[in-house]
Structure 1
Amino acid sequence: MPFHLSPVSWLLVLCVVVQLVYAVYYFWPFGSRHVAETLEPDSAHEAERPVSVVVAARNAADQLRQLMPVLLNQEYAKFEVVLIDDRSEDETILYAQQLTQYYPNVRLVTVERTPNNLAPKKYALTLGIKVARYPYLLFTDADCVPTSYQWLRHMARGFETGADLVLGYGPYAEAPGLLNKLVRFETLLTGLQYLSYAERGQPYMGVGRNLAYTKQTFMATKGFASHIRQLSGDDDLLVQDAVQLGRQAAVVTAAEAQTVSLAPTTWREWWHQKRRHMAAGNRYRFADRLRIGTFILANGLFYLATLAALVVPDPEWVALAGAWVVRTSTALATYAQASRRLHDRQPLWLLPALDAGYFFAYFLLTASLVLYRNPSRWK
């Protein structure tokens, strides 16, 4: 009997093949790579590579009380903290002023108003970068906390390879509830993509929770000028501009080199956050959009093809089962490796459901951006 598959089954097979290609070329080499997790102090070299840690804060007094003690106790030979108070109405400015009185390496920048039609956070960061004393810049958000006092040292060592940008990872803290699990899974998947692509020499984004670049790189891209009116993109679009100019990126994934923040606690908050981040995607280079889009499309079509295969007369159960076994085992192996490499523990037994839920949500988010474009302003 001649071998025959329906168009839907062939689509399933094609989707699985595409995902296998991504896993073999990008994800598995990244997940299986062994990297040094500890660093010995090197005061001489650290003094030659002073770092300005830049933090923009708006109404974040409580968060800064968690963050600043960890920043100020970083084990690094020479660094400063540039703290930007962006139009705060709480005690942020008072707390920041107190810090400057006791710590000479804390510098305060105050933003009283943002010019019309400029993205507030990008404007605030630009002012902070302009006053930064040192040529190496390390960024995190006010609601993040480094996982160790070695964070700065690990991230700064990324520049030793001659890189202009250093891409770090910023997981969310584990908490009860399905939303937290979905947010943490999405963060793992996003980290797996942008970090594995970067290790293949194809960097396309970073996250502002844990990102470093040279001041020279910021000046070469003219700062945020190409997207200063767009609310999102102070991290990924700057990386896009830098890579376009030939700047090189290094990847740092050590457990001590991460920053942790609290995940959104409501579905509405997460939805608006994702819409804001995804809105920057249309400014990515075509090659990056094609690479990311092909992966997302292959995953999304896999689930749609599965539904189609179940409703047609006489489903081809052997093809469907085979595609699911291969795809599920590939995905679990990929996520397990990424979880180990990024030190971001995930509930492996729940990953298939989280994977399906994420790509369904991604479809809805994409549709909402096409139909309604109004990303929230940075608060």
Structure 2
Amino acid sequence: MLPVIFCVFIVVVAIQFIYYVLIFGKLAFVKPKQSNPKKIPVSVIVCAKNEAENVAKYIPLLAEQNYPDFEIVLIDDASFDNTLEIFEEFEKQYHNVRLVKVANNEAFWGNKKFALTLGIKAARKEYLLFTDADCYPTSKNWITEMSSNFTMQKTIVLGYGAYEKVPNSFLNKIIRFETLLAATQYFSWARIGKPFMGVGRNLAYKREEFFKVDGYRDHLKIRSGDDDLFINQVAYKKNTTVCYTPDSFTYSRPKTTFSAWFRQKRRHVSTASHYKASDKFQLGLFYASQLSFFVLPVILLIFQYQWIAVTAMIGFRYLFTWLVLGFAAGKLKEKDVMIWYPIIELVVIFTQLNIFITNLFSKPVHWK
């Protein structure tokens, strides 16, 4: 069996090389492009449920954006804290704030997609820019940077939703590394013409893309996926582009306990099971190669089978992955996580395995 395992290990390293260098390199090694500011009308859409503390801090940052033509659509999804009252104050304070009140609906109770649909229908601008209630833009040029990527053909813009840095927190580095890796994947696949997801923390598209497919109709019963399932359905090579300039980032507070982050990732993984078959295959193949890289060489080294070649391939794999992710981390301002890369990667891979197994036996909880 050892010769077979050795051959499989060679294939695994080759697959990793294809993913990291040939695919992820489309983000890592691309030259930065200059933005071309536009003055298109934009509706910034924020859906909140029991987010009083966050919206009180972050909505004013949206209102202060340096952009000539935008409105803010605030959606209160039947909150039972004072989120609605804060929204009503903002509506009085800012001339460009529109408020959408969503009452509890027995057929759509707790379904964020229903609330977002009402907000999108209420929006008056042609271009929609989404972020979450617990997110804030990194600069006053967020709308400018994201909207500058729209063209006659490019009607979907994928942005980067980052997490705040927490000093001296190893969990924070794990969370930000996982976010970096995910962004490297969906940015890179979009750049080669095969977009498969986006994140609602920072996402933009033209209204017509929503109504072309009757919004979330095809996956309305799936509680999650207002961002990634929608993009998986409507995005393709000609209509999708990416934006990763530093001024276009949004930030949110990361989870502070491993259990909370684990529950969050369970929801994300369960949603990915509804992607197109081709996207599930490429994601599954990538993860299988990641896991196999850590399992197969251990077996070979225990029995000292071709140990020189095995050690050389391990070193080669870490060389090109560290290089590619390092350049990607530079673009996304996450360089510090790469110092701990080998350890963090191992934690993330086996956490993902744990999540997959856990999701087989129980369903994760979704929108509040």
Instruction: Please give the range of the TM-score, normalised by the shorter of the 2 chains.
Output: over 0.9
Distance 1:109 1:79 in 2: 16
In 2, are the aligned partners of 1:9 and 1:319 still within 8 Å (CA)? no
* Residue of structure 1 aligned with 2:233, choices 215, 223, 241: 241
Whether 2:34 is the aligned partner of 1:16: answer no
**What letter is aligned with 1:126?**
T
Aligned residue in 1 for 2:263: 272
Higher mean Cα deviation, 187-196 or 80-89? Answer: 80-89
Whether 2:352 is the aligned partner of 1:340: answer no
Higher mean Cα deviation, 259-268 or 314-323? Answer: 314-323
Closer, same or farther in 2 for the Cα pair 1:307/1:5, shift >3 Å?
Answer: closer
Distance 1:281 1:27 in 2: 19
Whether 2:365 is the aligned partner of 1:368: answer no
- Tell me the alpha carbon deviations over residues 98-123 of structure 1, each in whole angstroms, 9 at most, x when there is no partner: 11112111011111203335652111
Distance 1:113 1:347 in 2: 42
Aligned residue in 1 for 2:194: 202
Distance 2:301 2:108 in 1: 50
* Residue of structure 2 aligned with 1:351, choices 334, 341, 344: 341
Aligned residue in 2 for 1:322: 312
Whether 2:107 is the aligned partner of 1:116: answer yes
**For 1:305-320, what aligned pairs fall within 5 Å after superposition?**
305-311=296-302, 313-320=303-310
Give the C-alpha shift of residue 346 in structure 1. 2.8
Distance 1:119 1:8 in 2: 48
Aligned residue in 1 for 2:214: 222
- Tell me the alpha carbon deviations over residues 131-183 of structure 1, each in whole angstroms, 9 at most, x when there is no partner: 00011000000100100000001111111262121000011111132211111
**What letter is aligned with 2:179?**
T
In 2, are the aligned partners of 1:231 and 1:276 still within 8 Å (CA)? no
In 2, are the aligned partners of 1:119 and 1:228 still within 8 Å (CA)? no
Give the C-alpha shift of residue 24 in structure 1. 2.4
Identity of aligned residues (%): 35
Give the C-alpha shift of residue 368 in structure 1. 1.5
**For 1:1-379, what aligned pairs fall within 5 Å after superposition?**
6-36=3-33, 39=35, 45-46=38-39, 49-116=40-107, 120-160=111-151, 162-175=153-166, 176-243=168-235, 248-311=239-302, 313-372=303-362, 374-379=363-368
Distance 2:295 2:213 in 1: 41
In 2, are the aligned partners of 1:118 and 1:229 still within 8 Å (CA)? no
Instruction: Give the gaps of 5 or more residues in structure 2.
Output: none
- Tell me the alpha carbon deviations over residues 244-275 of structure 1, each in whole angstroms, 9 at most, x when there is no partner: 7x761110000000100111111111111111
Higher mean Cα deviation, 180-189 or 283-292? Answer: 283-292
**What letter is aligned with 2:228?**
D
Give the C-alpha shift of residue 80 in structure 1. 0.2
Counterpart of 1:130 in 2: which secondary structure?
Answer: helix
In 2, are the aligned partners of 1:173 and 1:262 still within 8 Å (CA)? yes
Distance 2:81 2:108 in 1: 24
Closer, same or farther in 2 for the Cα pair 1:153/1:310, shift >3 Å?
Answer: same
Distance 1:63 1:202 in 2: 35
**What letter is aligned with 1:221?**
V
Give the C-alpha shift of residue 317 in structure 1. 1.7
State the superposition RMSD in angstroms: 1.8
Distance 1:314 1:213 in 2: 54
User: Please, what TM-score do these two structures have when normalized by structure 1?
Assistant: 0.93
- The number of residues matched between the two structures is 367
User: Please, what TM-score do these two structures have when normalized by structure 2?
Assistant: 0.95
Give the C-alpha shift of residue 343 in structure 1. 2.2
Instruction: Give the gaps of 5 or more residues in structure 1.
Output: none
Counterpart of 2:15 in 1: which secondary structure?
Answer: helix
Higher mean Cα deviation, 99-108 or 342-351? Answer: 342-351
Distance 2:272 2:288 in 1: 15
Distance 2:120 2:104 in 1: 17
Give the C-alpha shift of residue 61 in structure 1. 1.5
After TM superposition, the runs of 4+ consecutive aligned structure 1 residues lying more than 4 A away are none
Distance 1:29 1:328 in 2: 19
**What letter is aligned with 1:378?**
W
